[in-house]
Amino acid sequence: EVQLVESGGGLIQPGGSLRLSCAASGFAVSSNYMSWVRQAPGKGLEWVSIIYSDGSDLYIGGSTHYADSVKGRFTISRDNSKNTVNLQMNSLRADDTAVYYCARDRHPLGDGYFDLWGRGTLVTVSS
Amino acid sequence: EVVMTQSPATLSVSPGERATLSCRASQNVNTYLAWYQQKPGQAPRLLIFGASTRATGIPARFSGSGSGTEFTLTISSLQSEDFAVYYCQQYHNWPPLTFGGGTKVEIK
């Protein structure tokens, strides 16, 4: 079955760190652009970060991008051996509280929209 | 950054009626526009991409139109399972990828 399963969420104090993981099955994360999208309680969707596929252009394969709100604090990475995509979150703030979704780009070379989503993992930043 | 604005915020519709949702982009995004449906406690589901192409398995009662800065999602005859929140998203100028604020379709 093709699916994404996120893990690693929880309650963390402001200033703390957390690492989210997204385990893929039924396809290889190395062959797809993968993103993290978050949703604060009762709010809309906010794109957080993307990592390009290994199959992208020679010069941009594996490239990453971030929303301004997380740039310098979050790092997206991929572990091809485990078929996972990870999000290292440092210097967490209260406004990072959200459900974090892992999402797959519909096109292997990255169109920028998502045909497969995980169920999400809740991150709560509070003292 | 391309700002996406959806209207109305809430749409009250009776089952069997037509629902028309709007999405406006702050700059031209051509037809690089997707629509998603999200039900409470669930992840978003892709409905439409390329402004008007239905994703796999999406019923024909869902249709998308528009280009440039003005887009519409139409649900021709609302079924009980269609009451949800709908988001538009542009993928023309990124990063960042940007979503609209959502339209909640509720039972009238």
* pLDDT one-digit tens code per residue, B5-44: 999 999 999 999 999 999 999 999 999 999 999 999 999 9
Chain-chain contact of B43 with A119 (C-beta, under 8 angstroms): yes
Residue A52 contacts B where some CB pair is shorter than 8 Å: no
| Span A81-113, pLDDT tens digits | 999 999 999 999 999 999 999 999 988 778 899
Residue B87 contacts A where some CB pair is shorter than 8 Å: yes
Closest CA to B44 of A44, A48, A40: A44
Quote the mean pLDDT of chain B.
97
Residue B99 contacts A where some CB pair is shorter than 8 Å: yes
Any idea what DSSP says for residue B26?
S
Instruction: Yes or no: say if B53 and B72 are a contact pair by the CB < 8 Å rule.
Output: no
Which pair of tokens denotes residue B7?
A: 């209207």
pLDDT of A61 strictly over 80: no
Give the integer Cα–Cα distance in Å for A35 and A78: 11
pLDDT score for A58: 59
pLDDT score for A54: 78
pLDDT score for A105: 94
Chain-chain contact of A114 with B87 (C-beta, under 8 angstroms): no
Give the integer Cα–Cα distance in Å for B81 and B74: 15
Chain-chain contact of A44 with B55 (C-beta, under 8 angstroms): no
Residue B104 contacts A where some CB pair is shorter than 8 Å: no
| Span B50-87, pLDDT tens digits | 999 999 999 999 999 999 999 999 999 999 999 999 99
pLDDT score for A102: 98
Residue A35 contacts B where some CB pair is shorter than 8 Å: yes
A44: distance to nearest CA of chain B, Å? 5
3-state secondary structure of A98: strand
Chain-chain contact of B91 with A113 (C-beta, under 8 angstroms): yes
Nearest to A115 among B38, B46, B96 (CB): B46
Give the integer Cα–Cα distance in Å for A34 and A54: 11
Mean pLDDT (whole number) for A59-87 = 92
Query: Are β-strands B10-13 and B103-107 bridged in parallel, bridged antiparallel, or unpaired?
Result: parallel
Residue A109 contacts B where some CB pair is shorter than 8 Å: no
Nearest to B102 among A37, A44, A118 (CB): A44
pLDDT above 90 covers what percent of chain B?
A: 98
Contacting residues of A for B57, CB less than 8 Å apart: none
Helices (H) and strands (E) in chain A, counts: 0, 11
Give the integer Cα–Cα distance in Å for B33 and B90: 5
- Burial of B56 by CB count in 10 Å (0-12 exposed, 13-18 middle, 19+ buried)? exposed
Nearest to B101 among A35, A44, A120 (CB): A44
Give the integer Cα–Cα distance in Å for B78 and B19: 7
pLDDT score for A57: 62
Q: Which residue of B has its CA nearest to A64?
A: B95
Give the integer Cα–Cα distance in Å for A67 and A98: 15
| A13 confidence band (pLDDT: 50, 70, 90) | very high
Partners of residue A74 on adjacent β-strands = A89
